[in-house]
Chain A
Amino acid sequence: MPIREDVVVVGGGLAGSMAALSAAETDASVRLVSYKKSTLRFASGLIDVLGYPNGDGPVSNPYAALGSLPDDHPYSLVGEQAIRDGLALFDEVTGDRYRGGHTDANALVPTYGGTVKPTARYPEASAAGLASDDRPMLVVGLRSRTEFDARLVADHLSAAGVPFDVHGAELSFPREFRADAKITRYAKALDKDEEVRFGGRSVGTREALAETVKPRLKGAERVGFPSMLGDEHASEVREELESQLGAEVFEIPMGPPSLPGLRLEDALFSALDDAGVRISTGNPVVDYETDGDELQAVYVDRKRTRVPYHADEFVLATGGLVGKGIDSDRERVRESIFGCHVPHSSDRYDWFDEEAFGEHPFAKFGVVVDDRMRVLDADDAPQFSNLRAAGAVVGGADSTAEKSSSGVSLATGVVAGRGAAASI
Chain B
Amino acid sequence: MTDSPHVLVVGGGSTGTGIARDLAMRGLGVTLVERGNLTHGTTGRMHGLLHSGGRYAVSDQPSAKECIEENRVLRDIAAHCVEMTGGLFVQKPDDPDDYFQEKLDGCRECGIPAEELTADEAREIEPYLAKDVERAIKVPDGAIDPFRLCVANAASAQEYGARIETHAEVVDVLVEGGEVVGVEVEHDSGPGKRVHRTPGSTEKIRADYVVNASGAWAGQIGEMAGVEVAVRPSKGVMTIMNTRQVDTVVNRCRPKGDADIIVPHETTVILGTTDEEVEDPDDYPEEQWEVDLMIDTLSELVPILKKARTIRSFWGVRPLYEPPGTGTVDPTDITRDFFLLDHEERDDLPGMTSIVGGKFTTYRMMAEKISDHVCAQFGITATCRTADEPLPGSEDFSVLRDYMDEFGLRSPIGRQSVQRLGSRADEVLKTGEPNPVVCDCEAVTRAEIQDGISQSGSDLNALRIRTRASMGNCQGGFCCHRMAAELSPEYDEPTAREALDELFQERWKGERHALWGEQLSQAMLNYALHATTMNLDGDPAAMDEALDFAAFDGGAGVGAGEGESGQSGATAADGGTRKHERGER
Contact = CB atoms under 8 A, between A and B. Distances in A.
B537 interface: yes
B504 A156 contact: no
Contacts of B527: 356-357, 360, 363, 400
A52 B578 contact: no
Given A58-B540, A127-B555, A362-B515, A400 B574 contact: no
Given A134-B572, A162-B578, A362 B553 contact: no
B533 A108 contact: no
Given A162-B578, A324-B521, A248 B489 contact: no
B415 to A, nearest CB: 14
Contacts of B560: 128, 248
A111 B535 contact: yes
**Most B-side CB within 10 Å, residue of A57, A179, A242:** A179
A133 B521 contact: no
Nearest to A124: B559
Interface stretch (A141-149, A268-276, A278-286, A291-299): A141-149
Interface stretch (A71-79, A204-212, A343-351, A371-379): A343-351
Contact of A351 (B515, B531, B548, B569): B515
Contact of A42 (B484, B515, B528): B528
Contact of A102 (B292, B408, B556, B573): B556
A166 B436 CA distance: 27
A166 B529 CA distance: 24
A105 B532 CA distance: 19
Interface in A82-137: 96, 99-100, 102-103, 105-108, 111-118, 124, 127-128, 130-135
A163 B433 CA distance: 36
Contacts of B523: 321, 352, 362
Contact of B575 (A96, A163, A320): A163
A161 interface: yes
Given A107-B553, A160-B541, A161-B547, 10 more contacts: A105-B553, A111-B535, A132-B550, A132-B551, A133-B555, A160-B579, A163-B572, A352-B523, A400-B531, A403-B535
Contacts of B437: 146, 179-180
B481 A143 contact: no
A27 interface: no
Which 9 pairs show the lowest CB-CB distances between chains A and B?
A161-B579, A113-B534, A163-B572, A155-B493, A107-B553, A134-B572, A356-B508, A321-B524, A149-B485
B516 interface: yes
B381 interface: no
A354 B513 CA distance: 11
B582 A106 contact: no
Given A113-B530, A160-B539, A362-B515, A103 B553 contact: yes
A114 B558 CA distance: 25
A327 interface: yes
B486 A146 contact: yes
A100 B565 CA distance: 19
B174 to A, nearest CB: 37
Contacts of A128: 555, 560, 568
Given A51-B538, A144-B436, A160-B547, A248 B552 contact: no
Given A146-B446, A158-B582, A322 B528 contact: yes
B540 A160 contact: yes
A321 B522 CA distance: 8
B525 interface: yes
A329 B306 CA distance: 10
Contact of A329 (B288, B516, B539): B516
Nearest to B527: A400
B482 A146 contact: yes
14 contacts: A60-B548, A100-B556, A117-B535, A143-B433, A148-B482, A149-B486, A161-B575, A161-B583, A164-B572, A248-B560, A321-B525, A362-B515, A363-B524, A400-B532
A328 interface: yes
A163 B531 contact: no
A55 B583 CA distance: 24
B553 A130 contact: yes
Interface of B: 288, 292, 295, 408-410, 413, 433-438, 445-446, 478, 481-482, 484-489, 492-494, 496-497, 504-505, 507-508, 512, 515-517, 520-521, 523-525, 527-541, 546-556, 558-561, 565, 567-576, 578-580, 582-583
**Most A-side CB within 10 Å, residue of B292, B434, B512:** B434
A242 B563 CA distance: 13
Contacts of B538: 51-52, 57-58, 115, 117, 401, 403
B558 A131 contact: no
Contact of B489 (A135, A151, A258): A151
Please report whether the interface of chain A is mostly helix, strand, loop or mixed according to DSSP. loop
Contacts of B494: 159
A246 to B, nearest CB: 8
A48 interface: yes
Nearest to B543: A160
Given A44-B533, A347-B288, A113 B541 contact: no
Contacts of B520: 321, 328, 351, 362
Contact of B436 (A51, A180, A258, A327): A180
A405 interface: yes
Contacts of A43: 533
Given A161-B540, A322-B524, A105 B551 contact: yes
B529 A178 contact: no
B436 A179 contact: yes
B531 A401 contact: yes
B505 A115 contact: no
B488 A329 contact: no
A362 B295 CA distance: 22
Given A117-B538, A162-B549, A179 B408 contact: yes
B436 A349 contact: no
A116 B540 contact: yes
Contacts of B553: 100, 103, 105-108, 130, 132
A47 to B, nearest CB: 12
A330 interface: yes
A12 interface: no
A127 B556 CA distance: 9
B488 A151 contact: yes
B486 to A, nearest CB: 7
Contacts of A48: 532
